[in-house]
A = this chain, B = another copy of it.
Amino acid sequence: MALALSAAVAAPAMAQLDVEDQIETRQSAFTFAAWNMGKIKAQAIDGSVAYNEQQMLAAANAIASVANSGLGSLFGPGTANDKNDNTKLLPVFFDKPEKAREVAIGFAQAATKLQEVAANGGGKSALAAQFSEVGKSCKACHDEFRAE
């Protein structure tokens, strides 16, 4: 379901989690998104699994739901890898709030459009094209804010 973009970058929707839980939860959100990206890659790009429109819609819904879940509340102060061993978030994240906002909005926009393409039965090649846009939005953030 499409949401206004404001929801993607809105203030925390719950009491702030502690640092460990923020890290674990954001890693979980990205792992869940990546699993669903993998399904689209297999069916719409590689063709290694038979194309199934309903499964593609479910995968796109999942990716969009991560992008629009208010991930920002999982990137609180003190959660970067200068202060924690179990995260790849670079501390530069906190020095560049405008860049962080930009990549988060880019992800939300690309993923919401992926969901629309899948919901409207856009077909394999339209889905593949938008999958590639979503992939770029993941990479834009990783290049800037994620350690190797």
Contacts and interface: CB of A to CB of B under 8 A. Distances in A.
A25 interface: yes
A59 to B, nearest CB: 7
Interface in A95-130: 115, 119
Interface in A59-100: 59, 61-62, 64-66, 68-70
Given A13-B43, A27-B28, A43-B14, A36 B69 contact: yes
A70 to B, nearest CB: 7
A25 B15 contact: no
Contacts of A132: none
A20 to B, nearest CB: 12
Contacts of A6: 54
B58 A7 contact: yes
A32 to B, nearest CB: 5
